[in-house]
Structure 1
Amino acid sequence: MSFSQQPISKKKLLSKEELKTWLHKDYIQDTIAGTSLEKAYTELLQNKKGKEIIVAVLDTKLDIFHEDLKDQIWVNEDEIPNNGIDDDNNGYIDDVNGWDFLSNDKGEFIEYQNYEETRVIRKYDSLFKGRHLEDVATRHKEAFKMYAKVVADYEASLKDLKQILKDAYAWREIFPIAKKQTQKILKKEKLTYRELDSLEKTKQKDTLINYYAGYMKTQIKNNIDLEFIKNYIKRYENRLHIFYNRNYDERKITGDNVKDINDRFYGYHKVYGRVPFEHSIVVSGILGAKKDNGIGIQGISNNIKIMPVVMVASGDEHDKDVALAIRYAVDNGASVINMSWGKNFSTEETWVHDAIKYAEKHDVLLVTAAGNEGRSIDEDKYYLNDYLEEEEIVNNFMVIGANNYKITERLVASFSNYGKKHVDIFAPGIYIYTTDTNNKYKFSRGTSLASPIVSGIAALIRSYYPNLSASEVKMILMESGTSFDLKVRVLDKNDKKIYVPFSELSKSGKVVNAYNALVLAEEISRKK
């Protein structure tokens, strides 16, 4: 079965209301590079009943009580809530709705952790510091190359970070002075942009007052106050004292031995709660928000049950947490696992690859985001991936780039990573309307949003065609996607704009298409 290429469209800009649902639209009927999900429900799924599919969302804590998600959260029927007993003997006590690998039973949880670059240096400093490639044993040469690259990036980033903080401290000192002086001259507490603009023009000869007026104009224009500046400083101080701090005790809260993959049973059962980085809520909504309930948004399918597995904090994910989270999801019945995050380095890639193989053995499809650096990940490796020495090790793993709704040179989202070898397919990832905390909704963007769209469509296929394997579902998604015969704009490794055929930016060269996927799934399923 073949799916035709689609022409360039001159579709006008969408309204706010149109943007809320564009990802479900059809490329022919609506001239939008959506997933044709509405068409699939209208023409293929009417009066059909699918089976329940568990999709594990490996991410931050999740607001499982959100009005549009509460009915879609996975429940472990073999576990009795809050009795302090591991009723199902899976090693995780009271895991009724999932598991949090970053918490403990005292109510503490990891909010911030190191960047992976920091862990690489911590791991290899004693072995490689001060040495050259020719001095290193052959078996360590690849690790040394990674270490050398990390050290160079780390030192440059640290230098930039210290300069940012130096400037921010000056910003914090100047703000109250500039505010007080302009308030004094204008004889009023509340400053306005217009009055400050007038003051700046009339005080051109008074260099200091002119500077203060211009300075406060900028702050007002950007809605900046002293509290904003303090929070800005706190954010970058966290990077300095935690993300880049080689001596920071990342595992004090969890108490596990981070060097031992067999030390598995740490964490806590509470998968919800406020975190500095609210990420899982936007991912989960687009995947599994309740359809047709008259509120909020439309998820991919009501047959999806979301299993929250918490292993993401501000900073980079630990390979140990990644590997054990995948294994937890597999062992507890997930058919699809969504992983909307990534990093540039890995200290324990073998643990992750073993977990990916474990998922393949148990027929579970893994879907992950390609990343948001706007670069080729064929040239610059990105984690997670399913490659070892440039050979694909499994056939149950998908990497997703993000596309725009415009069928033009801007089809690929400007931030999306790409790669003919390391990205499998694209999916909508910009102007995505989804759930937010406290029963709210918002627009979001990123390959983090594209990934759950593919996870949801994969779950849709597995719901209606349960005889198809994870590898068959992957093949169906890639072969049935929509092709677009046009060149699109991306950035090369030197951040220069280049124009490349869309077909060359992923392995499939396509945008995921739910309607086409279900048609192909029906055909393959009947032959089995």
Structure 2
Amino acid sequence: MRRRFSAFVTAAAFSIISLAQAFPAYAKQSDEAFHTFAVGPGLINLSPEDQYATYQWGLKNDGEFQAIELKQKFTDIGAIYSNVPNPIGLIGLPRSNGPDSYSQVVTNAVPGIDINVLPAWKAYSAATNKRQVIVAVIDTGIDINHPDLKNSIWVNEDEIPGDGIDNDGNGFVDDVNGWNFFDNNNQVYTGNEDDHGTHVAGTIAASRGDGGITGIADNSQVKIMSIKALGTSSGTGTPEMIVQAIKYAEANGASICNLSSGTLKYSQELADAIQNSNMLFIVAAGNGDTNGIGYSIDDNPIYPAAFPYDNIISVANLMFDGSLDTSSNFGAASVDIAAPGSYIVSTISNGYGFMSGTSMAAPMVTGVAAMIYASDANLSLADVKNRILQTARPLEQLQGKVATGGMLDAGAAMTYGQSS
């Protein structure tokens, strides 16, 4: 049986907190027996008009966050709580187990472990040669009517909505905002099973100044093409669906593609589709083995992250202390760079929530890539990749783990090659 593509959210850390109901938090449960939770790291003035930007540590980290993980001594599954603001306590601990069943691990945030987004936004605002950029999010679907995303969604202007006619002759009827290759229809959002893609999209280009979170890229220039190729509550699909999605994205104007998913099985059709594409692919490196322990994909490849092609950036999941999350895959040859991916707050169906995994790290890079590409119409996609990798901020913990030995630095990438 062919292995299926799956979305890369850390299994033990796939928890969602509805910030509208935070403290006490409402958590959307996964199918796991034991769940992890987190609250934000206490940031100051990242985007004052966006109330939940306070929790976006990946964009700006003042070092005010501490997570305490209680791990069962005989398993790798734990519970998370935070010390700011107002601890939500030990959520999810089985009543049948006493405190002696757990060991405690404390992780403290390190100031400056973030993507340095504020200088990047300043440089972008000063740019004078901008262009429109379409980013394909090939994933589960996207809540295209979410208040923080509705102005960020690509619109196929050559299609007349709802008339049942393939107006632009591209082979897809009423593909106004993208296409659903999982169900083979134009319904790019089907409900809660599309939280994953919605979360990815928000990190890339959620609106700023509207009271929610803040996306990395400017959604007046960067638009998200929603391509649903993964479905069900587990976020799975087939390589054939991904290949169809890639071909659709490029044929309809996308230049950058986020793939927060992968498979252990090599697919020549998938390899050819990516290698022969002119798009830049930002790809998640994967979330470890069956116990959630990250491993080298140089030795045990996951695809497409391990494909050796020049149009791929493969991304590992960075914690707020500058180390890789224990679940993050790595590889000095196969993985290019690390980016924040643990306890990331973004858009979900009808709200906002936290998710963790390399799925969340990849769109950090995608958002920066889209911002750079949109800022200067003279840049090529190869230039964009070069800027991102050449300016990776070195971290000792990442040496030998990723090719650059460093983490994403949006400010440095945006100003690369500019005179001071």
Paired residues of 1:461 and 1:521 also in contact (CA < 8 A): no
Tell me, yes or no, if structure 1 residue 353 matches structure 2 residue 271. Answer: yes
1:427-506 superposed matches below 5 A:
427-438=339-350, 440-484=351-395, 486=396, 488=397, 502-506=398-402
Q: Percent identity?
A: 35
Q: Which residue of 1 aligns with 2:250?
A: 330
- Which residue is 1:399 aligned to? 314
Given candidates 45, 48, 72, the residue that maps to 2:124 is 45
Question: Larger % of helix: which?
Answer: 1
- Larger relative contact order, structure 1 or 2 (CA cutoff 8 Å, min sep 6): 1
Would the aligned equivalents of 1:32 and 1:405 in 2 still touch at CA under 8 Å?
no
* 1:355-394 pair list within 5 angstroms: 355-360=273-278, 364-373=279-288, 374-385=294-305, 387=307, 392=308, 394=309
Shift of 1:315: 6.0
Partner residue, 1:301: 217
SS at match of 1:94: coil
Q: 1:462 aligns to what SS in structure 2?
A: helix
The C-alpha deviation readout for 1:111-135, integer Å capped at 9, x for no partner, is: xxxxxxxxxxxxxxxxxxxxxxxxx
Please report how far the alpha carbon of residue 290 of structure 1 lies from its aligned counterpart in structure 2 after TM superposition: 0.2
| 1:259-278 equivalences in 2 (<5 Å) | 267-276=184-193, 278=195
Shift of 1:468: 1.8
TM-score scaled by length of structure 1: 0.57
In structure 2, C-alpha distance between the alignment counterparts of 1:417 and 1:448, rounded to whole Å: 12
Match of 1:223 in 2: none
Over 3 Å counting, the alpha-carbon distance change for 1:48 and 1:416 in structure 2 is same
Gap runs ≥5 in structure 2: 1-37, 44-53, 64-109, 289-293
Q: 1:181-226 deviations in whole A, cap 9, x for unaligned?
A: xxxxxxxxxxxxxxxxxxxxxxxxxxxxxxxxxxxxxxxxxxxxxx
Measured against aligned partners, the alpha-carbon deviations of 1:241-292 in whole angstroms (never above 9, x if no partner) come to xxxxxxxxxxxxxxxxxxxxxxxxxx11111121546311111111111012
Output one character per residue of 1:85-110: Cα deviation in whole Å (capped at 9) or x when no partner: 1111111111000000122xxxxxxx
Distance 1:354 1:521, change over 3 A: farther
The answer to whether the aligner puts 1:95 opposite 2:15 as a matched pair is no
Q: Kindly tell me: are residues 54 and 477 of structure 1, through their superposed partners in 2, closer, same or farther at Cα, counting changes over 3 Å?
A: same
- Unpaired runs of 5+ residues, structure 1, are 1-12, 104-266, 489-501, 524-528
CA distance in 2, matches of 1:458, 1:101: 25
State how far apart, in whole Å, the 2-side matches of 1:425 and 1:52 are: 26
Q: How does 1:77-156 map to 2 (within 5 A)?
A: 77-103=157-183
Instruction: Give the letter for the 1:471 counterpart.
Output: A
Which residue pairs with 1:25 in the alignment? 60
Offset of residue 480 of structure 1? 0.5
User: Is this contact kept in 1: 2:340–2:364, CA < 8 A?
Assistant: yes
Q: 1:358 Cα shift?
A: 2.7
Cα offsets for 1:485-523 (capped at 9, x unmatched): x3x4xxxxxxxxxxxxx2210111110111110111657
Name the Cα RMSD after superposition: 2.1
More displaced 10-residue stretch of structure 1: 462-471 or 273-282: 273-282
Give the structure with the higher percent strand.
Answer: 2
Matches within 5 A, 1:222-233: none
Q: What is the TM-score of this pair, normalised by structure 2?
A: 0.71
Q: Kindly tell me: are residues 337 and 271 of structure 1, through their superposed partners in 2, closer, same or farther at Cα, counting changes over 3 Å?
A: same
Q: Which residue of 2 aligns with 1:519?
A: 415
SS at match of 1:327: helix
Shift in alpha-carbon separation, 1:381–1:84, aligned structure 2, 3 A: same
2:403 is aligned, of 496, 507, 512, to 507
The AA in structure 1 aligned to 2:42 is E
C-alpha deviation, 1:386, in angstroms: 5.5
